[in-house]
Chain A
Amino acid sequence: MWEEYLFANSVEHALELLARYEGRAQLIAGGTDLVLQSQRGQCPATVMVDITRIPGLNRIEERDGFILIGAQVTHAQIAASPLIRDKAPILAMACSQVGGPQTRNAGTLVGNVVNAQPAADGATALFVLDAELEVATQEGRRWEPISHVYRGVGVCTINACREMVTAVRFKPLVNACGCSYQRLARRKALTLPTLVVAVVLEMTGDTIKAARIAIGPVAPTPYRATDAEAHLVGKKAEESVFAEAGQLAAAKAKPRDSLIRGSSEYRTAMVGVLVRRALAEAAQECHRRG
């Protein structure tokens, strides 16, 4: 049961409200997850501090060599953003797959990350982009890599009763990069994924210069398939290499058996398939752009 619903008018105000209620208050953005968690008794906070009216947090912009996305920006806005589609298409693809149009209109990327659900499309894309989150506290602000923030299912190192994530940033992808976002789900809309694979590939000619592979939700958090990434560097872009990378990536997957989303065996095998496909598609795009 919520006792109060408050609107913060600045980041400082939001932090002050959090401090004032000493753990009973929580930030709310789109609320698409939070309302349900609260109704199901999974969120103890009784005071909601709404951050969606704070000026300045609704921006998607390129600044100082980074792309910055404010805490109010919704999945729908990212999916439609010309800047993101141009400089980080992988994120646009991921955000366009979340839920349905209505939930994409309300739910924010940052909220999605803070909630730390493993089946998060946007977060997986942020892993592949090596994104950082800006964390504001009453003491000041700091940037934290996304991989530090995600700690387990629903566990996030951000202290939601004291701290606020105000933005996410990452380096724009260089022009020669190819991307691919692969998603397996029980149906084509309105569903969490069984598996997602986000790949960014950089090539010189036929040779792979750098590869980034992020995978979710087949472990408590999305993860980077670092072995597979390392294996690819300097290799020729071809099916057999992609298949090897797929095998390496699958070796790191630890999915649980899910009655609804499939067995561990199946999902592990699919990591191999989707990573291979993603690499092939990304390589093709590199060639097209090349």
Chain B
Amino acid sequence: MQTLEMNVNGSDVRLEIHPDETLAEVLRDRLGLIGTKIACGEGECGACTVLIDGVAVTSCITPAMKAHGRRVTTIEGLSRDTELHVIQQAFVDSTASQCGYCTPGFIMATKALLDANPNPTREDIMHGISGNLCRCTGYYQIVDAVALAAKRLAEEGRK
């Protein structure tokens, strides 16, 4: 067992873990943050996307120890209580989620994308979410949601 100290969604946590646990396992099984989904377990679908110091990674193939001393943001870290984050609200308004299993991963990928590029073209958006698979939506409403979120964030910024 090894000690892992990290900040998750603003709170410091200290855990004893097996060195080969993945970040997804630690978040889900030890911290109960079930919003991070595991769909492929091999970095090929983006369902488990979280941010480490603001950078999007697939937590299913990230050794948890890599988060040691770092800031981790999961889907649970976006909304405050009942209030949805702008990106989440845009996914609601665009009907960008069907079964929803891919949704947290898309939202986290979107967060990283818009942080890096607040003014993306549709093509930028598509490349930004090209590491995420969805079997339900055909992606169009997801791309719409990202564009809507970008627009609203820009409006918020101008205010």
A and B touching (C-beta < 8 Å)? Answer: yes
Could you say which of B20, B44, B132, B133 contacts A38, with CB atoms under 8 Å apart? Answer: B20
**Interface pair B65/A1, CB less than 8 Å apart:** no
Q: Is B96 an interface residue (CB 8 A)?
A: no
Given contacts A35-B22, A188-B130, contact A5 B61 (CB under 8 A): no
Q: Is A139 an interface residue (CB 8 A)?
A: no
Contact with A along B64-101 (1 / 0, CB 8 A): 01101000000000000000000000000000000000
Name the residue of chain A whose CB is nearest to the CB of B127.
A101
Q: Which residues of chain B are near A3, meaning CB under 8 Å?
A: 19
Kindly specify which of A102-110, A166-174, A212-220 makes contact with the partner chain: A102-110
Task: Identify 26 residue pairs between A and B in the complex whose beta-carbon atoms are under 8 Å apart, listed by A's number.
Answer: A1-B18, A2-B20, A2-B63, A4-B2, A5-B2, A5-B19, A5-B63, A31-B62, A35-B22, A36-B61, A50-B63, A50-B66, A99-B43, A100-B132, A101-B56, A101-B128, A101-B131, A102-B56, A102-B58, A102-B131, A105-B57, A106-B62, A188-B130, A189-B130, A190-B44, A190-B133
| Given A99-B43, A102-B46, A7:B68 Cβ within 8 A | yes
Q: Is B39 an interface residue (CB 8 A)?
A: no
B6 CB to closest chain A CB (Å) equals: 13
Judged by a CB distance under 8 angstroms, whether A284 is at the interface is: no
Number of B interface residues at 8 Å Cβ cutoff, please give it: 30
Given the complex, which residues of B lie within 8 Å of A101, measured CB to CB? 56, 109, 112-113, 127-128, 130-131
- Bound together, the chains give a CA A3 to CA B18 distance in angstroms of 8
Q: A12 CA to B57 CA in the complex, in Å?
A: 28
Residue tally, chain A, CB below 8 Å to B: 25
List chain B residues, Cβ under 8 A from A103: 43, 58, 131
Contact with B along A93-118 (1 / 0, CB 8 A): 00000011111011000000000000
Is A28 interfacial (CB-CB < 8 Å)?
yes
Task: Say whether B61 contacts A32, CB under 8 Å.
Answer: yes
Contacts of A72 in B (CB 8 A): none
Determine the residue in chain B with the shortest Cβ distance to A101.
B131
Residues of B within 8 A of A1 (CB): 18, 20
Of the candidates B19, B44, B45, B56, the one whose C-beta lies within 8 Å of that of A48 is: B19
Are A102 and B49 in touch, CB under 8 angstroms?
A: yes
Min distance, Cβ A264 to any Cβ of chain B, angstroms: 26
Does A52 reach chain B (CB closer than 8 Å)?
Answer: yes
A80 to B, closest residue via Cβ: B116
